[in-house]
A and B are shown apart, each in its own frame.
Chain A
Amino acid sequence: MVIDGHALAQSLEDVALYMGKVNGTGARLEVGPLYHESEHVGEMLSARWGCHAASTNLAFLPTGQITGCSALAMLASTFPELILGDVSGGLNDEAVAHLVHVAQAGGEDRPACQGCQAAANCAGGCLAINYSTCGVPLTPPDFYCQTISMIPRVWHRAWPERMPTATAHETAYGEVCTD
Chain B
Amino acid sequence: MSALHEHVSCELLLTNSCNMRCGYCIARNLPGPPMTREIGRKALDMFVFLAQGAKSLEITFTGGEPLLEFSLLEELTGYAHERAHEAGMEVSFVLKTNGTILTQAIVDYMRGHCIKVVVSIDGTPAAHDKYRRTAGGRGTHKVVSGNLLEFMHDGVSCVASVTVHPRLSRMVLENVRYLYELGVVNIDVGPAYGTVTWNGN
Q: Which residues of B contact A91 (CB under 8 A)?
A: 50
B43 with A64: CB separation less than 8 A: yes
A46 CA to B111 CA in the complex, in Å?
Answer: 32
Q: How many A-B residue pairs have CB under 8 A?
A: 166
B189 with A30: CB separation less than 8 A: no
Interface residues on A, range: 35 or more
In the complex, whether A136 has a CB less than 8 A from a CB of chain B is no
A114 CA to B27 CA in the complex, in Å?
Answer: 32
In the complex, whether B166 has a CB less than 8 A from a CB of chain A is yes
Nearest-Cβ distance from residue B66 to partner chain A, whole angstroms: 11
Q: A8-B172, A74-B26 are in contact. Are A28 and B185 (CB under 8 A)?
A: yes
Nearest-Cβ distance from residue B58 to partner chain A, whole angstroms: 9
B8-29: which have CB < 8 Å to A?
Answer: 8-16, 26-27
Q: Who on chain A is nearest to B160 by CB?
A: A31
In the complex, whether B116 has a CB less than 8 A from a CB of chain A is no
In the complex, whether A95 has a CB less than 8 A from a CB of chain B is no
A80 CA to B198 CA in the complex, in Å?
Answer: 26
B10 with A59: CB separation less than 8 A: yes
Q: Who on chain A is nearest to B96 by CB?
A: A70
Q: A55-B5, A64-B42, A70-B62 are in contact. Are A3 and B30 (CB under 8 A)?
A: no
Q: Which residues of B contact A147 (CB under 8 A)?
A: 191
Q: Which residues of B contact A179 (CB under 8 A)?
A: 193, 197-198, 201
Q: Which residues of B contact A75 (CB under 8 A)?
A: 26, 194
B194 with A133: CB separation less than 8 A: yes
Interface CB pairs A-B, < 8 A, 10: A7-B169, A28-B185, A30-B186, A31-B187, A62-B13, A62-B32, A62-B33, A71-B26, A129-B194, A178-B201
Q: A: which residues have CB within 8 A of B?
A: 1-8, 10-12, 14-15, 18, 22, 27-33, 52, 54-64, 66, 69-71, 73-75, 77, 87-88, 90-91, 128-129, 132-133, 141-144, 147, 176-179
